[in-house]
Amino acid sequence: MATVVAITKTAKPEPLVGKSIRRREDPRLITGTAVYLDDMKMPGMTHAVVVRSPHAAARIKSINAKPALDLPGVIAVFTGADVKHLGSVPCAASLPGLRVPFHHLLAQDRVYFSGHPVAVVVASDRYIARDAADLVEVDYEPSAAVADPEKALAAGAPAVHPEWPDNVAFNFHQDGGDIEAAFRDAEVVVKQRITSQRLIPTALETRGVLADWRAGEKSITLYSSTQIPHLMRTMVAGILGMNENKLRVITPEVGGGFGSKLNVYAEEALMAFISSKIDKPVKWVESRRENFQCTIHGRGHVDYFELAAKRDGTMLGLKLKLIQDIGAYHQLLTPAIPTLSVLMMPGLYKFKNIAADIVGAFTNAVPTDAYRGAGRPEATHGIERMVDILAAELKMDPVEIRLKNFVGNDEFPFATATGLSYDSGNYSAPLRLALQQVDYESLRREQVEARKAGRLMGIGISTYGEICAMGPSAALPAGGWESATVKVEPTGKVTVLTGASPHGQGEETTFAQIVADELGVDIDDVVVIHGDTSVVQYGIGTFGSRGTAVGGAALFEALQTLKAKVRKFGAMLLDASSVTLAGGECIDEATGKSVKFTEVAAAAYHAKKLPPNTEPGLVATHFWEPPNFTFPFGSHIVVTEVDRETGAIEIRRYIAVDDCGKIINPLLVAGQVHGGVAQGLGQALWEQAVYDDSGQLITGELTDYALPKAHFMPWIESSHTETPSPVNPLGVKGVGEAGTIGCSPAVVNSVVDALSPLGVRHIDMPLTPEKIWKLIEGGRA
């Protein structure tokens, strides 16, 4: 009887995984007490301002820093000559034949883009530093620039780097299957040029760095608003030629990244170097203008697609010529991003023949690199537009053509023509759910009536896939694993150290949910620590929808090791051969006796007695290597109405059905979907980074760059199907980029559908009212 009672008493509490729990990060954020980079102060701290080139291409004839140095309060001015001996801003990606210009921390004899750093002024006060920056005299000899990638590749274009007059950064080819046969067998081929314009990531917090040199230790503590503290430590140490264990990188609160802080920039190494030279802490905080000019941009594609198919809608093969706007340099992953587009080319479809050629084009512009989705939104936009163009050509319903070509449920794992292995899926499920939610049949009937009445109403569908949980180490330059340490403290409190470095995604909450369930402890007894290279074991970081799918898996595995040790101590204390761990207790099922988790923790540290072959303490670390990527998928449906008189687009319905595998916290997943959709809508409708022919960024401030506002946004009807991933023990797939990837093709497909009675077949983003109005007027003519 006692046994029964004991087990009832310790029945597992309801699990927290799967529950919408409000975030444990939030109290500091909603009270204004969180500490972001620019909130930090140090005794003797100095302020740096970077002097930047106003020209996109120019030779530097001379620099005179004396007027700046004469200003009271100015401590030092550094120019290219001071940092010539230091290493290059790193590019970690490698491709055959890749041309990698040496990327000095400050311009040497030439500048290559408007905003190129030329000098750094350091002063006792930020206002003085900014005044002094204006006093640095730089004599430039401007030359012709080119900021458009297709123009850059044309004969006679100005050479961005004089040593490579063709402006080709690399050529890359990938094929799979038999593309020639696919096009030979085709009954119909559709072709389209599709652009994916440059976007500015625009984390609300700009970048910032605070470097603190300790002369006595010859060490540097570098505070940086980054997504990748450990990689930054290794790479900044490399640039400076210092031992990486003398460099400590700490990420304070990070105000958004979206890929723009998945990088190592000149300023991080510069501030570390400068602090060591002036023997004082130095802080640099980017202005919004600098953020737009000098922090990486995203996208920047010109894509030429050709899709081969049978008349019944069966897709046979896809060709892509991809021109990637590189910018003037490679940042950390610049040339690798379009290769992700190629991997994602087949989308959710089963055709097995592809051929892709990428040309990377140097331009006099800030480099492109990973921005939310990183190569996958471009690819998904392309394939989902091409499927609609094919459907229009064949007069098929866009739903029917998708269902006909989906990889079947019984075909997983599915080997794609691009060499991937899709892990699990039920691709028609989210589409069918979205169709049901939007009431597709009646919308199509309404559309018939609307067209008779002269209304421009559109229904757009995207069925997207993505590559998440970046990724197996073979696929990432610096490794793709993630690490976690779980420490049970002597009092039974639990501390998690994660190598992922979350910055708004909410892992302080979701990871605590996982720990609470696995160990049976109170979630309030769990603390999750991240973003300090001297405290946390080496990690890779947060990007590519990997925080939970890779970092969470590492945590789960570390917990299994830890639990085994807890049970050993529990068995010893209960004098049992084995015990179970549940509800915060170790229980001897045979006797019904139990010992509290806190008592086990104390015993493990007091170590008066140890189980056989067991060390004192309760700590476990796991470096988890993912065996594959994960492949989330979903379907977005957008209903639009276009105003004939103004070209304005009204989004009547936005349905998002996303399958991101198992869901840890539905509230946080919804937040990721909403934010992702907002960035996708930004690209589809409003945002674009515009350079003029002289290489000036004319969308250089938030006054000129149309970031989505609250009243721009439709209500997003978000729901999910849940197909667990077999790739990791949590069954999660990742959700950070899904909204962005699924969004833009659904919006453009919808507006093209609305305008199709006017003969419109494709529109490039952003779908500004002016562009739409011109199409309507052209259609009338």
Partner 1 sequence: MTHKISLTINGRPYSDEVEPRLLLIHYLRDVAGLTGPHIGCETSICGACTVMLNGRTVKACTMLAVQADGHSLTTIEGLAANGKLDPVQEAFWNEHGLQCGFCTPGMILAVKQLLADHPHPTDSEIRHGLDGNLCRCTGYQHIVNAVKAAAAKAGA
**Footprint of partner 1 on this chain (CB under 8 A)?**
22-23, 25-36, 38-39, 126-127, 202-206, 253-258, 285, 287-288, 503-506, 667-668, 670-671, 673-679, 701-703, 707-711, 713, 715-716, 739
Q: What is the 3-state secondary structure (H, E, C) of 26-87?
A: HHHHHCCCCCEHHHCCCCCCEEEEEEECCCCCEEEEEEECHHHHCCCCEEEEEEHHHHCCCC
Rounded least distance, CB 123 to partner 1, Å: 14
**Cβ distance to partner 1 smaller for residue 608 or 709:** 709
435 close to 637: Cβ distance less than 8 angstroms: yes
**Cβ neighbours around 214 below 10 Å, total:** 15
Q: List 122's β-bridge partners, or say none.
A: 48, 76
**Cβ distance to partner 1 smaller for residue 466 or 588:** 466
**Cβ distance to partner 1 smaller for residue 38 or 306:** 38
Rounded least distance, CB 542 to partner 1, Å: 12
Task: Output the CA torsion sign for 666, 731, 536, 337.
Answer: negative
Rounded least distance, CB 503 to partner 1, Å: 6
- Per-position b or e across 508-521, b if 16+ CB within 10 A of its CB: bbbbbbbbbbbbbb
**Cβ distance to partner 1 smaller for residue 48 or 83:** 48
CA distance 263 to 251: 13
State the first-to-last Cα distance of the chain, in angstroms, to the nearest integer: 89
**Cβ distance to partner 1 smaller for residue 28 or 445:** 28
36 close to 273: Cβ distance less than 8 angstroms: no
Q: Find tokens 């010109």 and name the residue.
A: 302
Rounded least distance, CB 442 to partner 1, Å: 24
Rounded least distance, CB 127 to partner 1, Å: 7
**Cβ distance to partner 1 smaller for residue 25 or 384:** 25
CA distance 341 to 354: 12
CA distance 205 to 189: 46
**Cβ distance to partner 1 smaller for residue 329 or 371:** 371
The DSSP annotation for 145-195 comes to: ----HHHHHSTTPPPSSTT-TT-EEEEEEEEES-HHHHHHH-SEEEEEEEE
**Cβ distance to partner 1 smaller for residue 23 or 52:** 23
Task: Output the CA torsion sign for 101, 104, 110, 114.
Answer: positive
Rounded least distance, CB 707 to partner 1, Å: 6
**Cβ distance to partner 1 smaller for residue 298 or 520:** 298
**Cβ distance to partner 1 smaller for residue 285 or 639:** 285
Rounded least distance, CB 30 to partner 1, Å: 4
Q: How far is CA 660 from its chain centroid? A: 16
152 close to 361: Cβ distance less than 8 angstroms: yes
Rounded least distance, CB 445 to partner 1, Å: 28
CA distance 727 to 630: 7
Helix-helix angle 398-405:376-394, to 10 degrees: 110
Distances (CA, A) of 638 to 246, 434, 441, 709: 53, 10, 14, 19
Tokens standing for residue 135? 């006093």
Rounded least distance, CB 247 to partner 1, Å: 25
Rounded least distance, CB 124 to partner 1, Å: 12
